[in-house]
């Protein structure tokens, strides 16, 4: 058995760098591993309002960090799901919610799957997921995903949820926590990367003149990919033919203090892309994700400001470029790409931190299984690539399913044939009224997204036959209005969002 890496050098701070530093220090600090994170004072942190998937909860649990410790420090809020207005023009499906799923969904949410199958086979059953899941109703009422205490003291059902936060503040919080775990911090800029004959990274030559060597190097240098791309020459596979968006504009705006804080992300379709609105405890984070092939940055900013109105009249806009795709090998030689350096799938389903966390955790597990050798390097790369491709399919499906016709952008997305065989098969089985359960099962864990998520996406976009027949079977089916009525009553048993956040301080 080889020993754990004795020296790990992380190039780049931000959320990716400090997440990696914490996970590695937490796991291998007991082996005597010394971790140094180097970041340049010349490269700023974006620090936009950002969302997560529920998987981030496991990150903090692994580090032993309580929500009341990190959330107030990062202006964080709770996230029950994502609302998608204006992606579809189908009557009754102009917006839908991709919820996080809870125990309370079993009785009412189960009816959604029945109705969705009936409707895709030609019967006029209500099947918009925003009417059938408690998370959607909690977001509608601006509730936190936590029950009020029961009078009899009995435990409440479990709920699933994610977070919104200021990514710059989260990076700063994780930095301080990493220091507690013994991580060293160095402000410097990489001037040159020296390689060994076998292609490993030997050392970094810094602007200060220092030489930094290590057993393992983690590239968290962002889209530049200073180590994995530039030094090692790892090829980058662009997703440009599948996901057209390559730019974003971020503008903050103030919260309406007269209302409770929303507990969902909103992803609203505009003419050349979509706008995120992420509620923090201190402000909204807003941003327009768009394709520069279809609209200029100047016109995109005008569209965003028109959409947000007077709330951003005096707010500065930041223009960002995105490199959408992934490297072929995330772990090459003695270098691991993490975060934007390894790849990025646009922000639509808030998967960026999930991919960072998943990559580092799987790396740790396979390194230990391989007795700290590179025995499982190829397996690791296949595993991470499978995850990227699975997320790509789910995100690309949103664009393929849109029914807007107000711009070349949306028409081109709908007509785009550059989708995987897997996604094409999923759409075909759904459209033909086939055995959708068997279709999803046939793809196994390559889908990445679970069964309810695929139902919510396809049904939520109104992907149903045009000529529907009245439901003729004798048993009753639950209408959307009936489902909403039941959920409205249930949601009254939950905390208000702002009140719960205040109770954490």
User: Annotated catalytic sites, by residue?
Assistant: 79
Closest residue by Cα to residue 491 from 132, 141, 163, 149: 141
Phi, psi of 172 (to 5 degrees): -65, -40
Is residue 22 within 8 A of residue 49, CB to CB? The reply is no
Tokens 């922000």 belong to: 347
Is residue 183 within 8 A of residue 80, CB to CB? The reply is no
Helices (H), 274-376: 297-308, 352-369
Tokens 């597990």 belong to: 365
DSSP state of 123: B
Q: How many CA atoms lie within 13 A of 214 on its CB side?
A: 25
Is residue 94 within 8 A of residue 403, CB to CB? The reply is no
Tokens of 407: 């711009």
Which is it for the CA torsion 408, 398, 346, 97, positive or negative? positive
Closest residue by Cα to residue 226 from 192, 257, 256, 198: 192
Round to whole Å and give the CA distance between 267 and 403.
Answer: 16
Query: How far, CA to CA in Å, does 294 sit from each of 218, 274, 330, 411?
Result: 36, 13, 31, 11
In this structure, the number of other CB atoms found within 10 A of the CB of residue 65 comes to 16
Query: How far, CA to CA in Å, does 143 sit from each of 107, 180, 444, 482?
Result: 21, 35, 34, 21
Is 78 in a helix, a strand, or coil? strand
Tokens 């009249």 belong to: 313
In this structure, the number of other CB atoms found within 10 A of the CB of residue 282 comes to 17
DSSP state of 23: H
Closest residue by Cα to residue 227 from 11, 62, 33: 11
Is residue 380 within 8 A of residue 362, CB to CB? The reply is yes
Round to whole Å and give the CA distance between 414 and 437.
Answer: 25
Round to whole Å and give the CA distance between 242 and 104.
Answer: 36
Burial degree of 489 (CB within 10 A; 0-12, 13-18, 19+): exposed
Round to whole Å and give the CA distance between 229 and 226.
Answer: 6
Query: How far, CA to CA in Å, does 408 sit from each of 218, 238, 416, 433?
Result: 41, 22, 12, 30
């Amino acid at each position: 058995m080889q020993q754990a890496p004795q020296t790990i050098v992380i190039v780049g701070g931000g959320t990716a760098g400090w997440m990696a530093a914490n996970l590695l220090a937490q796991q291998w600090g007991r082996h005597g591993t010394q971790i140094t994170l180097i970041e340049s004072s010349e490269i700023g942190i974006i620090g936009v309002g950002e969302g997560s998937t529920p998987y981030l909860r496991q990150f903090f649990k692994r580090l032993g960090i309580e929500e009341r410790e990190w959330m107030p420090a990062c202006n964080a809020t709770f996230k029950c799901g994502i609302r998608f207005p204006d992606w579809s023009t189908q009557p009754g499906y102009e917006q839908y919610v991709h919820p996080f799923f809870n125990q309370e969904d079993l009785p009412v949410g189960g009816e959604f799957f029945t109705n969705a199958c009936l409707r895709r086979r030609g019967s006029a059953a209500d099947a918009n997921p925003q009417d059938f899941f408690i998370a959607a109703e909690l977001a509608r009422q601006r509730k936190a995903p936590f029950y009020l205490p029961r009078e009899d003291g009995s435990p409440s059902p479990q709920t699933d949820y994610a977070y919104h936060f200021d990514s710059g503040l989260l990076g700063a919080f994780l930095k301080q926590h990493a220091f507690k775990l013994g991580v060293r911090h160095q402000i410097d800029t990489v001037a040159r990367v020296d390689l060994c004959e076998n292609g490993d990274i030997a050392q970094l030559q810094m602007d200060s003149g220092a030489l930094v060597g290590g057993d393992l190097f983690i590239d968290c240098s962002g889209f530049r990919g200073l180590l994995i791309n530039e030094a090692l020459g790892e090829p980058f596979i662009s997703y440009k033919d599948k996901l057209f968006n390559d730019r974003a504009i971020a503008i903050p705006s103030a919260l309406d203090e007269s209302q409770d804080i929303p507990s969902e992300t909103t992803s609203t379709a505009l003419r050349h892309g979509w706008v995120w609105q992420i509620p923090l405890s201190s402000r909204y984070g807003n941003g327009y994700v768009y394709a520069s092939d279809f609209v200029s940055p100047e016109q995109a900013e005008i569209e965003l400001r028109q959409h947000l109105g007077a709330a951003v009249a005096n707010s500065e806009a930041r223009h960002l470029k995105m490199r959408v795709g992934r490297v072929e090998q995330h772990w090459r030689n003695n270098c691991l790409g993490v975060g934007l350096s390894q790849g990025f799938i646009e922000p639509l389903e808030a998967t960026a931190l999930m991919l960072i966390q998943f990559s580092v955790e799987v790396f740790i597990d396979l390194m230990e299984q391989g007795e700290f050798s590179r025995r499982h390097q190829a397996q690791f790369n296949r595993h991470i690539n499978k995850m990227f491709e699975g997320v790509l399919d789910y995100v690309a499906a949103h664009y393929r399913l849109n029914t807007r016709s107000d711009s070349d952008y949306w028409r081109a997305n709908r007509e785009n044939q550059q989708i995987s065989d897997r996604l094409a098969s999923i759409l075909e089985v759904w459209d033909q009224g086939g055995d959708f359960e068997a279709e999803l099962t046939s793809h196994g864990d390559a889908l990445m997204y679970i069964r309810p998520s695929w139902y919510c996406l396809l049904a939520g976009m109104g992907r149903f036959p045009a000529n529907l027949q009245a439901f003729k079977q004798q048993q009753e089916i639950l209408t959307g209005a009936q489902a909403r009525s039941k959920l409205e009553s249930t949601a009254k048993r939950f905390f208000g969002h702002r009140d719960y956040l205040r109770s954490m301080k």
